[in-house]
Amino acid sequence: MIAEATKSEIKPRPYQSEAVDGIHAQLGHNRSTLLVMATGLGKTIVFANVVKSYMEWGRVLVLAHREELLGQAWRQLKAVTGCEADTEMGEYRANAYGAFRSRIVVGTIQTQVAGMAGKGRMTKFKPDEFSLLVIDEAHHSAARSYRRVIDYYSQNPKLKVLGVTATPDRADEKALGAIFDSVAYEFDIRDGIEDGWLVPISQQSVYVKGLDYSSVRTTAGDLNGADLARVLEFEETLHRIVSPTIELCGDKKTLIFAASLAQAERLTEILNRHKPDSAKWVHGGTPKEMRRDLFPEYAAGGFQYLVNVGVATEGFDEPSIEVVVMARPTKSRSLYAQMCGRGTRVLPGLIEEVEGPEGRKAIIAASDKPFLEVIDFVGNCGRHRLITSADILGGNYDDKIVERAKYNAEKKSADTGIPVDVIDELQIAEWQLEKEKREAVEAARRQKLKLRAQYSTAKINPFDVYGIEPWRERAWHKGRQPTEKQVGFLDRSGVDVSGLSFTHAQQLIKKLIEQRQNGGCSYKQAKVLTRYGYAPTEIGFEEAKGLISTIAENGWKRTG
């Protein structure tokens, strides 16, 4: 029987409440929308609160592609809605009809499209009975199997579709933009760190002699598995990965990602040779009974190193992980984000009652887990562009900034043997490139060159005024115009919005607010100072006021 809905046992965090409101707003005038929220920030709590509302209007179907994800969803849905969901997966059969069926059904995509003489078990359900379809890990939804299920349930014209994903690949952004009508809310891994909900990330790069990926082929957008295994299963390479791992990790709880079963097994063997009974390994073929014992043992500190092959990328939550070792490289940003996200959770019970980002960050810094250390092994990449922590923390940054940060972080950490804070490196890279751009503009101005503005319809390029690089536009925001609130704010600040996109309007507003909070000159002041050859980012509000008065008194000519 359906359990009666009770008050949520889990109090949503402020950003989770904002996400719920954003989803309701978007689904009010769209058929579908997307929630983008990094691993460890509680995507399930958000969609469970949305589900609670839609249960009033019909049944709700929650889909995932792995059993572990469904188990988490089932528990959170019960905690938030008070309703025990029916499960449609493998041997489990949800009640399609009758008085005892639940208002919520959870299931796997594989089960939905399998059986029923090729029609799929989805056909046992009537689309008109459902008010909402939730797709967890929605970056998979571009696959044909997901499209079949979406199309089937969308025969109900009143159905709403919510996709939920962590930070996806840039290629995924375009695909998701074609499936979902809008993006309701974004809160990525960097937002989580800067707001004090996730631990910061420090990167340690280790150069491994003889490690060469140049001959590895690319298959389906990532490094070919067989080629990669051949490189990483080489005996000397294994030892050159294990030795620095033991040295750098000390006694910290460590999660290791391997590329193949053979690599995982050999890494575990070598680790145990150095530190007896310190390591165990797990893969997709490990019996469920063994996994049920293995993960709790690891969580309780029964052993230090958990080596895994494709098991801990999704649906594995263990806040006590202090180090993530990337013993397998990848070209996939979403995969790297999933691996890294296994260790970004804050230790339980620390921050829920703490007000404000600075207070939460101070608590984290003083805790037994002040940051997550990510260890990357660097070799000859050849033509490959491998993903690092800078890629997942630099979502809005231009590629040039991310590449500079990656280079700086790799070199500093490898040369010194000390991990570096990746957000700091991104900010340093941004400053370096802004400085170089300002110097180039100054040099061009001195040579009386006329620079072509990025926004030809604007009298002054607002990005040139502050010497900043425009953010990369997420594919799902391509062509999106600024909102009325953005336009109003920028217009009052003196910014010509002609030609500005939603993303770039958002960036300029952020910069203007930062200037105001730091006592910097206003945009109107900056425009004037730029015309007269000053660098406005280095001038405060009062100083700018005095300079402009002096210029005006001098007949609008620079005095020095």
If you average pLDDT over residues 312-339, what whole number do you get?
89
pLDDT, tens digit, 9 for 90 and up, residues 265-301? 999 999 999 999 999 999 988 888 888 899 999 999 9
Q: 51 vs 3, 44, 136, 356, CA distance in Å?
A: 15, 10, 13, 28
Could you tell me if 263 and 407 lie in one domain?
Answer: yes
In a domain, 253, yes or no: yes
**Looking at residue 439, what is its pLDDT?**
80
Whether residue 157 is found in the same domain as residue 281: no
Q: Give me 192's structure tokens.
A: 């989580």
pLDDT in tens, 169-223: 666 777 788 889 999 999 999 999 999 999 999 999 998 888 888 888 988 888 8
40 and 81, same structural domain? yes
Across residues 316-324, what is the average pLDDT? 92
540, 520 in Cβ contact below 8 A?
yes
pLDDT, residue 445, reads 61
User: For residue range 114-143, what is the model confidence (pLDDT) as tens digits?
Assistant: 877 778 889 999 999 999 999 998 888 888
**Do both 64 and 118 map to the same domain?**
yes
Task: Give yes or no: residues 90 and 230 share one domain.
Answer: no
Shared-domain flag, residues 342 and 393: yes
**Res. 7: pLDDT tops 50:** no
State residue 457's pLDDT score: 31
Residue 466 falls inside a structural domain: no
Q: Which of 187, 220, 237 marks a domain boundary? A: 187
**pLDDT over 90 for what percent of the chain?**
48
The helix (run of H) or strand (run of E) holding residue 366 is none
Residue 531 lies in a domain: no
pLDDT at residue 338 greater than cutoff 60: yes
Co-location of 224 and 171 in the same domain? no
- Is 257 found in the same domain as 114? no
Does residue 309 register a pLDDT over 80? yes
Q: Tens of pLDDT along 398-438?
A: 888 989 999 999 889 888 888 999 999 998 998 898 888 87
Q: 240 and 164, same structural domain? A: no
Type of residue found at 432: Q
What's the domain count of the chain? Answer: 2
Whether the per-residue pLDDT at 383 is higher than 80: the answer is no
For residue 437, tell me if it sits in a domain: no
pLDDT confidence tier of residue 332, bands split at 50, 70 and 90: confident
Determine what percent of the chain is predicted with pLDDT higher than 70: 93
Of the ranges 182-196, 442-456, 488-502, which one carries the lowest mean pLDDT score?
Answer: 442-456
- Give 30: exposed, middle or buried? Use CB within 10 Å, 0-12, 13-18, 19+: middle
On the CB side of 63, CA atoms within 13 Å amount to 25
- Which of 359-363, 423-427, 455-459, 507-511 shows the lowest mean pLDDT across its residues? 455-459
Indicate if 177 and 248 belong to the same structural domain: no
pLDDT for 208 = 87
pLDDT in tens, 72-110: 888 889 999 999 998 888 777 877 666 678 899 999 888
Starting at the edge strand found earlier in the chain, the sheet holding 104-108 runs: 86-88, 104-108, 59-64, 130-135, 160-165, 32-37, 183-187
Residue 390 confidence (pLDDT): 87
Residue 170 is predicted with a pLDDT of 67
Q: Is the pLDDT of residue 22 over 90?
A: yes
Q: Are strands 420-421 and 183-187 parallel, antiparallel or unpaired?
A: unpaired
User: How far is 286 from 265, CA to CA, in rounded Å?
Assistant: 12
Q: Is 201 in the same domain as 183? A: no
pLDDT of 560:
64
Average pLDDT value for residue range 443-447: 62
Residue at which a domain ends, from 171, 187, 203: 187
pLDDT of residue 95: 74
Last residue of a domain, one of 378, 401, 429: 429
Q: Are residues 259 and 377 in the same domain?
A: yes
The pLDDT of residue 65 is above 90: no
pLDDT computed for residue 450 by the predictor: 37
CA angle 438, 444, 449 (to 5 degrees): 140
Contact 472, 403 (CB under 8 A): no
- Of 449-463, 476-490, 529-543, least confident by mean pLDDT is 449-463
Assess whether pLDDT exceeds 70 at residue 458. no
- Lowest-pLDDT choice from 53-57, 118-122, 232-236, 457-461: 457-461
The average pLDDT across 9-18 equals 89
Q: Is residue 58 assigned to a domain?
A: yes
The predicted structure's pLDDT at residue 367: 96
Burial degree of 159 (CB within 10 A; 0-12, 13-18, 19+):
buried
pLDDT averaged over every residue in the chain: 87
Which residues are CB-neighbours of 40 under 8 A, at least 6 positions away?
192, 197, 198, 317, 341, 344, 345
pLDDT at 2 over 50: no
Q: What is the pLDDT of residue 174?
A: 74
Residue 228 domain-assigned (yes or no): yes
What pLDDT does 24 receive?
97
What was the pLDDT predicted at 467?
A: 77
Residue-number span of the structural domain to which 53 is assigned: 14-187
- For position 300, which CATH number holds? 3.40.50.300
Q: Residue 221: name the closest of 393, 387, 6, 98 by CA.
A: 387
Examine residue 120 and state whether it is found in any structural domain, yes or no: yes
Q: Is residue 47 part of a domain?
A: yes
User: pLDDT, tens digit, for every residue of 29-40?
Assistant: 999 999 999 989
